[in-house]
Structure 1
Amino acid sequence: MRSLVLAALALPLAACGGGGKEGAGNNSQQAATIQEQVSANLTDDPQNMMVPITPPSPSPIAAIPTAFQGRWGMVANDCDPARADNKGLLTIAGNHLSFYESRGDAAKIRTTGRNRIAFDLPMSGEGMTWSEPTVLTLEGDGRTLIRETTGPADRAGSNRYQKCPA
């Protein structure tokens, strides 16, 4: 396969050489240069599977999309409204996020990819205030939510939630 690719790349170079002795030497040198470049690329991607993709630039939006709204639990018991110990419950209503003992309103919301949004999240709870830059990603069929936060070291991290039954 590689020799076929190299031959296809070298063919236009041979056509440009003019057919003389001087041109033939240049063509083989150019073909060797191309072979080195192709070989290096195949070393990086031996199956030739990588396709360069430009990620979309963030697009501001007014509100957290509907697909992200609702009640999300880290474990099944978090989704039981009768329980008082649902410490892994996350409720998203509008631009408001509520956790067990803290809450915040999303600001500067933007889409950063398919099923992915980012926003600033000023938070308050237990007499304290802080800010958590946050990224939410929906996975699979939209029933799994990944929340990634940056900010203070004790609050940074990633959490996985499952959509609670309606």
Structure 2
Amino acid sequence: MPKIALPAALIALAALSACDSTAPVPAPSDEATGSSDASSSPIETGSPSPSPTPSSPATPPAGTNFPAAMQGRWGLTAADCTARPGDTRTLLTIGAKDIRFYESVATIRTVKESSATRLRATLAYEGEGMQWNRDALLEVRPAANQLVMEEFGSDAVPGARTYARCK
């Protein structure tokens, strides 16, 4: 491929992959940029994490759990807690390693802040054949038996949702 066509091909590939948020955008090669200087490459810190495969969500780092105070069943309405399994779309169950929703599961991808009653993290979701990541804040209000969950991003449900602990 001629050197002039290569940058145009990379731009076209990047534009096409922008439509698919799961597709990686290729980094320009040294040939395309005309540079072979290693110092212009991005610097990565820490060990690289494995890329998720289309059939499995990203595996959270070892020791990354939801705080014990968050674990359990939580409903947006009182009826969520007494409904038969599969009859409610607003019940969630938090285990040590994941949150189970009606048709999706979320695991912790990266932790930004954590305490016994609060977690700010990027969650890796999988459900209905799709995968996505979302920044989320979960906070337990023990005195009220409540869990407040708020997700951030252009495609997130706006505002915080308050769940009551199921008995």
Instruction: State the TM-score, normalized to the length of structure 2.
Output: 0.55
User: Residues 19-71 of structure 1, C-alpha deviation per residue, up to 9 Å, x if partnerless?
Assistant: xxxxxxxxxxxxxxxxxxxxxxxxxxxxxxxxxxxxxxxxxx73211100000
Name 1:95's counterpart in structure 2: 97
Pick aligned residue for 1:86 from 85, 88, 98: 88
Distance of 2:72 and 2:115 partners within structure 1: 21
Asked if structure 1 preserves the Cα contact closer than 8 Å seen for 2:75 and 2:81, the reply is yes
Q: Partner amino acid for 1:91? A: T
Q: Partner amino acid for 1:93? A: G
Distance of 1:102 and 1:128 partners within structure 2: 9
Q: Partner amino acid for 2:127? A: G
Tell me the matched-pair count: 105
Instruction: State the TM-score, normalized to the length of structure 1.
Output: 0.56
State the 1:86 CA deviation: 1.2
SS at match of 1:124: strand
Pick aligned residue for 2:145 from 143, 146, 158: 143
User: Residues 52-111 of structure 1, C-alpha deviation per residue, up to 9 Å, x if partnerless?
Assistant: xxxxxxxxx732111000000000111125253211101101120111111111122353
Distance of 2:97 and 2:144 partners within structure 1: 18
Name 2:48's counterpart in structure 1: none
Name 1:76's counterpart in structure 2: 78
Q: Once the two structures are aligned, what percentage of the paired residues are identical?
A: 31
Q: Following superposition of structure 1 onto structure 2, how do residues 41-120 of structure 1 map, counting pairs within 5 Å?
A: 62-82=64-84, 84-111=86-113, 115-120=117-122
Name 2:132's counterpart in structure 1: 130
Deviates further, 111-120 or 99-108:
111-120
Asked if structure 2 preserves the Cα contact closer than 8 Å seen for 1:131 and 1:151, the reply is no
After superposition, the Cα gap between the structure-2 partners of 1:131 and 1:155, relative to the gap in structure 1 and judged at 3 Å, is farther
After superposition, the Cα gap between the structure-2 partners of 1:104 and 1:135, relative to the gap in structure 1 and judged at 3 Å, is same
Q: Unpaired runs of 5+ in structure 2?
A: 1-62
Asked if structure 2 preserves the Cα contact closer than 8 Å seen for 1:122 and 1:132, the reply is yes
Q: Partner amino acid for 1:65? A: P
SS at match of 1:84: coil
Q: Partner amino acid for 2:97? A: N
SS at match of 1:157: coil
Q: Partner amino acid for 2:160? A: S
State the 1:115 CA deviation: 2.6
Distance of 2:151 and 2:143 partners within structure 1: 23
